[in-house]
Amino acid sequence: MALGRDRRVGGAGLADVDARGIRHRGRAALRREDAGPRGTVRVEIADSCHECVHGHLDLSEEAFRAIGDYDAGIIDTSYVPVASPTVPPLSFRFKDGSSAYWAALQVLDAGVRLRSVELRVGANWVALSLTEYGYWLAPGYVGPGPFTIRVTDTTGRTATVSGIAMHPMEVQRTSARLR
């Protein structure tokens, strides 16, 4: 089954360290084009895969089924980064367990590496830190929301989005794009 080149199916976890010893922390939102026995699929690297050996991807079930026999468990694939991905507007998801006192936020559909994510708390911007599991962690109390969020990629493009509610595990879609 060959999928359209701009169709994103599921996500993937990338091995923490590649053959050159380079850590892949911070690769949340990187997209890869994966080719397997059944065709090609585009996935978003959403987190790290600690148990994976270098070069391995832990694909979502949907992405795996698109390129190979899911029951095989492991298949040979090849993958390359997508240079200029076509991405939908930004979406956000608070991690399960997030609250006014502990919050972890995932930025979806950025299409590129992010340099920073900040929450507006009162009159101040609070910088979040990227975790190895692909969420941006608040340093402490952030309040109940709704939030204004500022996202900056590694090239300096930004997007500021208001009205993101503290609804853990709910994907909140927006019309915002990095510019």
* Predicted model pTM: 0.68
Domain of residue 48: give its range. 8-81
Q: For position 35, which CATH number holds?
A: 2.40.40.10
Q: Does the residue 65 lie in any domain? A: yes
Distances in Å between the Cα of 79 and the Cα atoms of 1, 31, 43, 170 are: 17, 10, 10, 29
pLDDT score of 65: 84
Residue of higher predicted confidence among 50 and 118: 118
Place of tokens 């397997």: 36
Give the number of other Cβ atoms within 10 Å of residue 175's Cβ. Answer: 9
Q: Are residues 39 and 99 in the same domain?
A: no
Are 43 and 31 in contact by the 8 Å Cβ rule? The answer is yes
pLDDT > 70: what percent of the chain?
76
Query: How far separated are the first and last CA of the chain, in Å rounded?
Result: 35
Mean pLDDT (the chain, rounded): 79
What 3-state class would DSSP assign to 117?
A: strand
Torsion of CA 5, 112, 134, 98, to 10 degrees: -100
Q: For position 165, which CATH number holds?
A: 2.60.40.760
Cα–Cα nearest to 5, from 100, 102, 104, 86: 86
Whether the per-residue pLDDT at 7 is higher than 50: the answer is no
What 3-state class would DSSP assign to 170?
A: coil
Residue range 144-170: mean pLDDT, rounded: 97
Q: Kindly report which listed range (1-5, 23-27, 104-108, 174-178) carries the lowest average pLDDT score.
A: 1-5
Total structural domains within the chain: 2
Q: Are residues 58 and 117 in the same domain?
A: no
pLDDT score of 21: 38
pLDDT score of 24: 41
pLDDT score of 14: 55
Pinpoint the alpha helices (H) of 51-124.
61-67
Q: Kindly report which listed range (34-38, 139-143, 144-148, 158-162) carries the lowest average pLDDT score.
A: 34-38
Q: Are residues 74 and 99 in the same domain?
A: no
Looking at 36, 62, 81, which one is the last position of a domain?
Answer: 81
Q: Are residues 77 and 96 in the same domain?
A: no
pLDDT > 90: what percent of the chain?
45
Whether the per-residue pLDDT at 171 is higher than 80: the answer is yes
Q: Are residues 19 and 68 in the same domain?
A: yes
Q: Are residues 98 and 77 in the same domain?
A: no
Looking at 81, 107, 137, which one is the last position of a domain?
Answer: 81
Q: Are residues 59 and 110 in the same domain?
A: no
Query: With bands split at pLDDT 50, 70 and 90, how would you rate the model's confidence at 33?
Result: low
Q: Is 179 exposed, middle or buried (0-12, 13-18, 19+ CB in 10 A)?
A: exposed
Cβ-based neighbours of 81, under 8 Å, separated by 6 or more:
30, 31, 32, 33
